[in-house]
Structure 1
């Protein structure tokens, strides 16, 4: 037998241990290759949506590549630690240090090349399907399958470099100690796990503090709290597994009535050792899973943002004339002609908007002039938009203020007008925003009819709103008047305009595209997290066999074995996932501050989907694990 043949057979013999690592690596190659097919596809035209899609997928490729590097490095280092006994046998039979390094290098390269071949082959087989799904989500014409040489070469070279670098590096990780140490690596009694009370308390404090800050975050405070919360959560999670979880297990062992009941003694004692031994792995699974949940959940919640289009743009088509030029009447006539050509029923309203000069304001960021609408006109366009117009009648100097969501929680502003130094302070903000705030410089006020008549404006603009019951049908209207559904006044034109249908269509395409990228990347992260659990579990299989064989000799039944294994596997599989769920839930609480509508439904769907996937994976691994245990115990 030649040396390469020996290496090949060595990998085949350990196929059970390497299978999850191999499949995860192949999946990373597959997704990387799919992204490359999109990026280098000749039919992706240059446009806002397509260009953004290419940028997103390019960024996803970089993230995927960096993650794959650390995933492969961690996996290989774990395998090396579990093979010390095997290395001892080989060294005893005359294998030199250089031959051992060569064997490890060739094994890693063999697995890596196999993963690259399988990943690219799967990409070629499923590429057409992914291109069809991706093009539909991006909102472009269906893309035919095209095998780009650049996509193939990029994937091949990138992952060959990755696996070669790690294979070279892992030869340094091979530690050849005394033969007796190598032989006894899996048989030495484990030290009793210990936990620091201080670090356990620190973990609890950091996690509780980070949860509190996330749950109480507002739109204004979220950006400032984000980095401290992430830092505290990561540190708190690490100490939770290395210290707090072990501390809790030790406390549980002191509860004699519970600890000495049936098989609890074996389950809890074994779990304390497993938590301590696998703390770093649990930490990585939790963080990786949290990133996957948050990425997919955040983008799934963008669907709620699209539902807010109606709230942000109450009129399906809004037109704001800055002056009284005849061209405005021509534009309005064009809009009405297009509405009739599409058989869209509509109502329309015209209201004047006065811009009054401000001499001072309690808000230093306030503009030099502010948009003012009369109360009667406000009620009129509120009803036209289909909103509840139940507002208290304004009298005298009473005002209501229209604010965007980002300013909704700001302190009340007092405006001092240049006209007679009149001071205006709002009692409350309006229930709805009836004018596209992008058109009136993001702030506006509603005043009583009598005050509106007395105001001397710097200039007056005429707002015309077209209201329909089918927002989607207006997509693409007024292409010559707007760009991507919006147009603002400039030196070349004297009008501003928004088309809700076009804005909604663009946002939906962007949302679907980002969700497509996030789902692929999240799937790789989630499966990699499962792989960590899988190969760590099988790395301890020989130790577990000896342990259960010893217990079986003193009367452990098959039913009790099933119960113990199921309990331990359930805790090992679901503790990191549950912790990741809790982390994600508080992250989504903070994210809720960005939305006027609830994102609970979308988040529950995302987390439930991940939970179902984890349950399927758990039952599959449990079945295989029990099979392997019983082979030894028979």
Structure 2
């Protein structure tokens, strides 16, 4: 038998151990290849939407590649640690250090090449399906299958380089310790896990503090709190697994009524060792899973944007005439004609807008002019949009800061006008948006009807709003008047305009693209997290066999064995997932500050979907693990 044949048979003999690692690597190659098919597809590189899709998928390629590098490196280093006994046997039979390094290098490259070929083969077979689903979510015409040579070269070259570098690096990790140490690698009694009370307290404080900051974050404070919260959560999670969790288990051991009950002694005793041994793996699974949950959940919650859009864009089409030129009448007539042609049932409203000059202001960046609307017109536009106005009518110099978006943040501000030294002050904002933010360059106020009549009439503009519940039908209207659904006010334009249907289509196309990209990345991360659990579990299989074989000799029944194994596997599988769920829940609390509407339903659906997938994976692994374990106990 030649050396390459020996390497090949060695991989085949360890196929159970390498299975999850191989499939996860192949899946990473598959997703990388699918993204490359999109990027290099000749029909997708047209238009703004397609360009954005290519940019998102290119960014996803980079994220995928970096994650794959770390995943493969960690996986291979874990496998090497679990094979010390095997290395000892080979060296006892005369294998040299260089031959051992060569064997490890060839094994890694063999698995890597197999994963590359498998991933690309599945990508070619399912490429048409991915292109159909992706083009539908991206919002472009269905793409025909096109096998790009550049996509093939990029995928093969990138992952060959990745596996080559890691295979080369792992030969350095192979250490030829004393033979006795290699033979006893899996049989040495484990040391009693030590725990630091101080670090346990640090972990609890960091996690509680990060949860508090996330739960109390506002739209204004979130950006400042994000980095500290992420840092505290990562450090707190690491110490939770290495210190706090072991400390909690030790407290459980001191509870005699719990510890001495039936098989709890075996479960709790081994739990402390498992938590300490697997602390880094638990930490990685938790962080990877949290990133996956948050990424998919964040994009899924964007469905709330459908309802939120109606709040921020109350009129289907908004038009502001900035002067009295005759072209405004022609533009409005064109809009009405297109609405009729599309069978859109609509209503219109026209209100005057005044701009007043400001002498001084307490604002940090005071505007030169201030947009003014009367309260009765504000109420009229709100009612036309279907909003209920609960604000009391303003009197005398009472004002409201005019919201142009639910993202807007205002501070109580005083304005002194040039006209007759009039001073205006607001300490609260309007309940509803009546003008989209694209139409308003300056700050705005809602004032009493009495005050509105007193203000100067030198700078008056006319707003015309077209209101309908069929916003989607306005997509693409008035293309000669707007660009991508909006025409910004400027010094050389006589009007400002927005078409909500076009803006909504563009926004949803972007979110669908991001959701498609994120779903695939989230799937890779989640499968990788499952792989960590799988090969860590099988790396400890020999140790578990010896442990349970000893226990069965003193009367452990099959039913009790099933119960103990199920508990331990459940802890192994669901502790990091449960911690990731808690992390994600507080992250979504912080995200809620960006929405006026609740995102709870979307978040629950995402987390429930991940939980169901994890349960299916758990029962599958439990069945295989118990079957392999009982074979050795017969």
Give the TM-score normalised by structure 1. Answer: 0.99
Match of 1:554? 554
Q: CA deviation at 1:305?
A: 2.3
Shift of 1:379: 1.5
Match of 2:282 in 1: 282
Q: Does 2:630 correspond to 1:626?
A: no
Change (3 A) 1:67 1:44: same
Q: Helix, strand or coil for the counterpart of 2:529?
A: helix
* Distance across 2 between alignment mates of 1:247 and 1:23: 36
Describe how 1:93-104 pairs up with structure 2 within 5 A. Answer: 93-104=93-104
1:11 corresponds in structure 2 to 11
Partner Cα distance (2:552, 2:52) in 1: 61
Q: In the aligned structure 1, how far is the partner of 2:472 from the partner of 2:99? A: 68
Q: Residue 338 of structure 2 corresponds to which residue in structure 1?
A: 338
Question: Which piece of structure 1 moves more, 488-497 or 412-421?
Answer: 488-497
Q: Residues 71, 509 of structure 1: CA spacing in aligned structure 2 closer, same or farther, 3 A cutoff?
A: same
Deviation at 1:441, TM superposition (A): 2.3
365-374 or 271-280, larger mean C-alpha shift: 365-374
List per-residue Cα deviations over 1:146-181 (Å, max 9, x = no partner). 000000000000000000000000000001100000
Distance across 2 between alignment mates of 1:82 and 1:567: 23
C-alpha spacing 1:502/1:354, structure 2 compared with 1 (3 Å)? same
Change (3 A) 1:261 1:330: same
Q: Report the Cα distance in structure 2 between the residues aligned to 1:443 and 1:577, rounded to whole angstroms.
A: 47
Aligned counterparts of 2:186 and 2:25: Cα–Cα separation in 1: 27
- Matching residue of 2:125: 125
* 1:167-246 alignment, distance < 5 Å: 167-246=167-246
More off after superposition, 154-163 vs 305-314:
305-314
Within 5 Å, which residues of 2 pair with 1:233-382? 233-382=233-382
Q: Aligned partners of 2:194 and 2:218: how far apart in 1?
A: 40
- Partner SS for 2:594: coil
1:487 maps to which residue? 487
| CA RMSD, Structure 1 to Structure 2 (Å) | 1.1
Equivalent position SS for 1:206? helix
* Deviation string, structure 1 residues 356-376 (Cα, Å, up to 9, x no partner): 111112212231111111111
Partners of 2:438 and 2:498 within 8 A in 1: no
Distance verdict in 2 for CA 1:303–1:376, change over 3 Å: same
1:572-599 per-position Cα deviation (integer Å, ceiling 9, x unaligned) = 1000000001111111111111111111
CA–CA distance in structure 2, aligned partners of residues 116 and 366 of structure 1: 59
CA-to-partner distance for each residue in 1:233-275, whole Å, 9 max, x for gaps? 0000000000000000011100011001100000001111000
Q: Deviations over 1:261-302 (max 9, x none)?
A: 100000001111000000000000000000101111111111
**Greater shift in the superposed pair: 367-376 or 328-337:** 367-376
Distance 1:345 1:585 in 2: 42
Other-structure match for 1:534: 534
Shift of 1:411: 2.8
Alignment of 1:419 onto 2:419:
yes
Unaligned runs of 5+ in 1: none
Distance 1:458 1:584, change over 3 A: farther
Aligned counterparts of 1:582 and 1:70: Cα–Cα separation in 2: 25
Deviations 1:342-389 (A, max 9, x none): 111111000000011111122122311111111111111111111113
Matched, 1:603 2:617: no
SS at match of 2:530: helix
Match of 2:435 in 1: 435
Show the 5 A alignment for 1:457-536: 457=457, 459-536=459-536
Q: 1:42 to 1:361 in 2, by over 3 A?
A: same
Displacement after TM superposition at 1:183 (Å):
0.3
Distance, in Å, in 2 between the alignment partners of 1:461 and 1:631 is: 84
Cα offset, 1:457, TM superposition: 4.6
In structure 2, what is the Cα distance between the partners aligned to 1:102 and 1:417? 82
Aligned positions of 1:30-69 closer than 5 A: 30-69=30-69
Tell me how far apart the structure 1 counterparts of residues 199 and 112 of structure 2 sit (CA, whole Å): 40
Unaligned runs of 5+ in 2: none
Equivalents in 2 of 1:233, 1:163: separation in Å?
Answer: 32
User: Could you tell me how far 1:508 is from its partner in structure 2?
Assistant: 1.0
Secondary structure of 1:512's counterpart equals helix
